Amino acid sequence: MSEKTNHPSGAPWRNFYGRIHGKTLRDRQKRLVEDVLPRLSPGPVSVDENPERRAVDLSGLFPGRQLWLEVGFGGGEHMAHMAQTHPEAGIIGCEPFLNGVAMALAKIEDEGLEKDIRIHAWDVRELFEVTAAEIFDKAFLLYPDPWPKARHHRRRFVTPEHLEPLHRALKPGAEFRVATDIPDYVRQTLEEVPKAGFEWLAEGPQDWRRPWSDWISTRYEQKALREGRVPHYLTFRRI
């Protein structure tokens, strides 16, 4: 069922499927959403902030550094880890689920990462609509919502609606990482991502069975492992 109300952070509605909030935010989480989140916004991305849909220059967010994108960062564990591990990059994370945003904001504050991360607390499609072409050096899609029912597969990220603007936003040669524990999501990823202009870099089974050298296992992955599902780590290059 699609959400048809404004996001609690103030972002306007668009045709979005999935949850935008869960449990009531605790006092600290409310403070972070109210006070810290606006400071970490990548710019006038949403319709209300940018009514004329002018292009937003993201290149100046992290001067002299690469610009990375994480789509659906969950609670922010991987995003915070990458920011600490790769000081040469700044990261923009997109996540519509407000409770996850609040968790990520707590990590950013606790670990002093406000100079390394920006948060778009809504649909990544809004960011794609206003950002310049060939701006991102790397992108991550990690344990996305699997939408297991066949009639819902069109809601998955690995569809032309999302992959084509992602391709446009990535620089030629940029890396696109996908992690999932759902075999049918692997199937659709391997079918659709190359069609959108990406090359799969695997040369053998170890290349999708073994995590990346800078990987951190998130709580989503730990849940998958406990339940007997097998993670797949897929690496693509933007052609």
Which residues are identified as catalytic? Answer: 145
What sign results for the dihedral spanned by CA atoms 47, 49, 50, 51? positive
Residue with tokens 């049918």: 184
* In contact, 182 and 149? CB cutoff 8 Å: no
Distance of CA 109 to the CA centre of its chain: 19
> Are residues 101 and 37 in contact, defined by beta-carbon separation less than 8 angstroms?
yes
Residue 215: strand, helix, or coil: coil
Query: Dihedral of CA 155/160/166/170: which sign?
Result: positive
End-to-end alpha-carbon separation of the chain, Å?
35
Is residue 141 within a helix (H) or strand (E), and if so which, with residue range? strand 136-142
Asked if residue 200 lies in contact with residue 236, where contact means CB atoms within 8 angstroms, the answer is yes
User: CB–CB of 29/50 below 8 Å?
Assistant: no
